[in-house]
Amino acid sequence: MTYALITGASRGIGLAIAQELARRKFNLLLVARSAPALEQTARQLATEHGIQTDFLALDLAETGAAQQVYDWCTQKKYAVQMLVNNAGYGLSGSFEKHALAEHTDMMRVNMTALIELTYLFLPQLRQQSKAYILNIGSSAAYQAIPLLSLYSASKSFVLQFSRGLHQELKGSPVSVTCVCPGSTDTNFVDRAQIGEKGRNAAKKVNMTPEAVARQAVESTLAGKTEVVTGFLNKAGKFMAWLLPKGLVEKAAGSIYE
């Protein structure tokens, strides 16, 4: 029996991806820190869709977390056919405002855990007749963003790694897709401590996590390389490419002042 493993499945985009995949009859393995939320979702989706589900509550910022996820799957004999690296968050404000440990924790969740999980699960994914890696990037990947500098850099990392790996794995059963959402109505702004100006800007263009999840799953199953969700975010990516970098960065950073 094969499974889709989703990190950050306790809420927001990850939860919506779990719901979307459940509708398509994927068995699910849900990972995040919030055990009660994971347990409830696992039970509900199993009952509603007649699928197998399980969950593992752990902090992906901890050293060795990805190995723990892998060992848990091995012990339970869960074969992963789809790996969804969705867990992630931002920290807004000046780079120096946050403690170094806060930055390194964010880097571990956004980048290190994604890399380690990908590395550990790849041999197993290669054994499937068709397998998928879905990495959640961000529209923040397309330009540097002052006052959200490290987050945008971490998402550029996710995007470039995903694109490279997609090419490396051509001809294998594994396809890699990077989905880059723009503002989405989740807990993201609270966790990132984004101020009033940023919140108001986000509200005007927010997509629902369900709409993002639908596009993410569809494009993953279609084997796409890179997808920006929503027309406005696609237009934003084009403008970031077209306009002088300094201008784009000033405009992007002004949201977080």
Ligand X SMILES: NC(=O)c1ccc[n+]([C@@H]2O[C@H](COP(=O)([O-])OP(=O)(O)OC[C@H]3O[C@@H](n4cnc5c(N)ncnc54)[C@H](OP(=O)(O)O)[C@@H]3O)[C@@H](O)[C@H]2O)c1
The catalytic residues are 151
Which residues between 164 and 223 bind ligand X (CB under 6 A)?
181, 183-184, 186-188, 191
| Concatenated DSSP letters of 227-240 | EE-SHHHHHHHHHH
Which residues between 58 and 117 bind ligand X (CB under 6 A)?
59-61, 86-89, 109
Q: Which of 11, 23, 163, 224 binds ligand X (CB under 6 A)?
A: 11
Q: Give min distance, CB of 189 to ligand X, in A.
A: 7
Q: Give min distance, CB of 230 to ligand X, in A.
A: 11
For helices 149-168 and 100-107, the axis angle rounded to 10 degrees is: 20
For residues 162, 163, 166 and 168, what is the CA-based torsion angle, rounded to 10 degrees? -110
Any contact of residue 150 with ligand X (CB under 6 A)? no
State which residue, 12 or 236, has the beta carbon closest to ligand X. 12
- Segment interacting with ligand X, rule: CB under 6 A, options 2-10, 42-50, 67-75, 115-123: 2-10
Q: Give min distance, CB of 247 to ligand X, in A.
A: 22
State which residue, 128 or 210, has the beta carbon closest to ligand X. 210
Q: Give min distance, CB of 234 to ligand X, in A.
A: 14
Q: In a 3-state reduction of DSSP, which class is residue 130?
A: coil
**Rounded distance between C-alpha atoms, residue 115 and residue 185, angstroms:** 26
DSSP 208: P
Q: Which of 3, 5, 10, 176 binds ligand X (CB under 6 A)?
A: 10
**Rounded distance between C-alpha atoms, residue 69 and residue 18, angstroms:** 17
Q: In a 3-state reduction of DSSP, which class is residue 177?
A: strand
**Rounded distance between C-alpha atoms, residue 175 and residue 122, angstroms:** 11
State which residue, 185 or 225, has the beta carbon closest to ligand X. 185
State which residue, 27 or 138, has the beta carbon closest to ligand X. 138
Q: Give min distance, CB of 257 to ligand X, in A.
A: 18
State which residue, 86 or 92, has the beta carbon closest to ligand X. 86
Name the E strands within 70-130: 79-85
Q: Which amino acid is at 123?
A: P
Q: Give min distance, CB of 123 to ligand X, in A.
A: 23
Q: Which amino acid is at 235?
A: A
Any contact of residue 32 with ligand X (CB under 6 A)? yes
**Rounded distance between C-alpha atoms, residue 82 and residue 80, angstroms:** 6
Report the run of H or E that residue 36 belongs to, with start and end.
helix 35-49
Q: Assess contact for 49 and 98: CB atoms under 8 A.
A: no
Q: Which of 34, 68, 128, 193 binds ligand X (CB under 6 A)?
A: 34
Q: How many residues bind ligand X (CB under 6 A)?
A: 27
Any contact of residue 6 with ligand X (CB under 6 A)? no
**Rounded distance between C-alpha atoms, residue 155 and residue 58, angstroms:** 22
Residues within the interface to ligand X (CB under 6 A): 8-14, 32-34, 59-61, 86-89, 109, 136, 138, 181, 183-184, 186-188, 191
